[in-house]
Every structure is written in structure tokens, then in C-alpha cells.
Amino acid sequence: MSTETAPNTEQEQDPNAPNDEARMSFLEHLSELRFRLRNAALIFLGFVIVSFFLFRKYFDILTLPAREAYQKALGHAVKFHFKSPTEPFWVYTKLAMYGALLISSPFIIWEVWKFVAPGLYRKEKRMVLVVTIATGVCFIGGAVFGYMFLSKPALTYLFSFAETIGVGPTSVEIEPTIMMDEMVGFMVSMLLGTGLAFELPVILGVMGWMGLITARALWRFNRFALILSAVVGGIITPSPDVLSQLLMAGPLFGLFNLSILIVWMIERARKKKLEALEKETGADLVPTPPE
């Protein structure tokens, strides 16, 4: 009498594999994508409407360093001008959209995540979450740093070009005419630049995770990173004041060294996993570092 082995209905599954129930057809993916994009658009539109009631507050906060710098450099309050009847409207509209994009970005990212996450492995989900959170924290931190410590010294220096050249009836008085649109554009560009500069640890960390760079190579580049940090600090901060340039170059150099530490930790964790797998399989998996 032959015995048949009953099929194992509780087969072990890879805990890192995507959920089979989350697999969808192509049309179902398109439907889900349309649903998530619609939600993101509605969220953004809702915050735009709310921001239209706050645009004056946005303008007040964004231009505060410029007003303080103008007062310090010229000794009197600044007057903002506009060169066309529609300029204030479009400036406030842009501020409302910038504010809405900033406030709604966590909700929009959540909608994107709900669309992407079902198709990712568990390890990939952790990686995406860490990179997303780190990207947001570093960008906001860089923008706040630029707003608090860089914008006012830079603008104070730039406004100091307002002066009187010569003496007597032939003297020339140079006065700034501050336009609303140009000042908002200057501040947004500066905050965007400092925010992107602070993404250095995220970029180098991802490159290290992909195996494109090593901590040893970054450490060897450290002396050049100091020079590049000073150059970038001088570009982002147009003031010749050494303190202002150091306020930008110092954090950039510190972020580069933080990136070395992050890449080293990633390499260490990878090496430990390979050593554990090497003990199980007996294969030579740990690469020998170059001299």
C-alpha cells in the first residue's frame, strides 16, 4: 500500500518578498495611479486655497531678513516696489503655491508611497523610507540654516553698495530699488540652494549603499572637500565677510565628514552580513580591501 505525501499547504514564504495579494494587473495599476494622482492634486489644491489667505504672512516671514539687512545697511526702513500693476498679484500667487507645496508635500509623498510600497521588498521599503525622511529633514534643515544664518549677512553686504560717490554738485548717489518679485526670487533661490547643499549626506549615503563609492575613497578626498566647501560657501554666500563664508563652508565640510561615517557604517553592516553568510556556505564572499 503506497502512502502519498500530503502537500504542504503552509509553505514557507520569503518574508522579504512582496505580498502576492498586492499584485495587480496593468489596468489595475493605472487605476490605482490615477486614484493616487487625483488625491495628490486635490490635497495640493486644497492647501493652495488655504495659502491664499496666508500669502501676506508668507511674504512677511520670507522678506524679514531682507528688511532687517536693509535697515542695518542703510539706516531706514525698506520700501518694496512693483513695476507692473499685476506684479503683486503674481508674487502673492507664487508664495501661496510655494507654501502649499511645502505644507502638502508630506501628504503627497504618502500618496506616492501607497502606490509604490506594495511592489517593494521589505528591505527596499526600509531603504525608501529612510532616504525619504532623511531627504526631507536635510532639505528643511538646510533651508532653515540659510534663512537664520546666511541670508541677513549676505543681504547686508549687498545693500551696503548703496552709497554716495564723489563730493559736491557732481556727486552720485546710488540707491537700491527693491522689487517685490526680485526679492522673493532671491530669497527662494538662496533657501533652495542651501537646502540642496545639505542633501550631501543623503546623496553620498545612497551612492555608498549602491557600492559606487567607499568610505576609504571619501576619506582620501577629504582635503579637497575642504577647499570645495570654501568655494561653494563663497558662491552661495556672496558676502566677502569671512564669518559668513565660514558659516556655510563649515557645515558643508562637516556634512561631508558625516557622509564618510554613514558610508562606513553601511559598509560595516554589509561586511557583517557577508561574513555571516560566508560561515554558512563556506564561500569566500568578503572582498579584500585594496591597499
261: Cβ–Cβ under 8 A, 6 or more apart, which residues?
215
Higher-confidence residue of 54 and 173: namely: 54
Q: What is the pLDDT of residue 243?
A: 66
Residue 278 has pLDDT above 80, yes or no: no
- Determine the pLDDT at residue 282: 63
* pLDDT surpassing 50 at residue 5: no
Bridge partners (DSSP) of residue 68 are none
Q: Please report the pLDDT score of residue 257 as a whole number.
A: 92
pLDDT digits (tens, 9 = 90+) for 79-90: 999 999 999 999
Note the pLDDT of residue 238: 62
Nearest CA to 197 out of 160, 157, 235 is that of 235
pLDDT at 92 exceeding the cut of 90: yes
Whether 67 contacts 23, CB under 8 Å = no
Amino acid 6: pLDDT? 47
Q: What is the average per-residue pLDDT within 139-159?
A: 89
For 93-128, the pLDDT digits (tens) are: 999 999 999 999 999 999 988 888 888 888 888 888
For residue 14, is pLDDT > 70?
A: no
3 state DSSP class of 92 = helix
Work out the percent of the chain whose per-residue pLDDT is above 70: 86
Give the per-residue SS3 of 19-59. CHHHCCCHHHHHHHHHHHHHHHHHHHHHHHHHHCCCHHHHH
pLDDT at 173: 84
63: pLDDT strictly greater than 90? yes
Q: Look at strands 172-173 and 178-179 and give their pairing.
A: unpaired
Q: Does residue 8 come out as left (phi exceeding 0), alpha (psi in the -120 to 50 range) or beta? A: beta
pTM (two decimals):
0.80
User: How sure is the predictor about 10, in pLDDT bands with cuts at 50, 70 and 90?
Assistant: very low
Sequence spans of domains, the chain: 24-165+174-196, 199-281
Q: Would the CA dihedral through 250, 256, 260, 263 be positive or negative? A: positive
Most confident of 22-26, 164-168, 175-179, 284-288: 175-179
Per-residue pLDDT of 249-263, as tens digits, reads 888 899 999 999 999
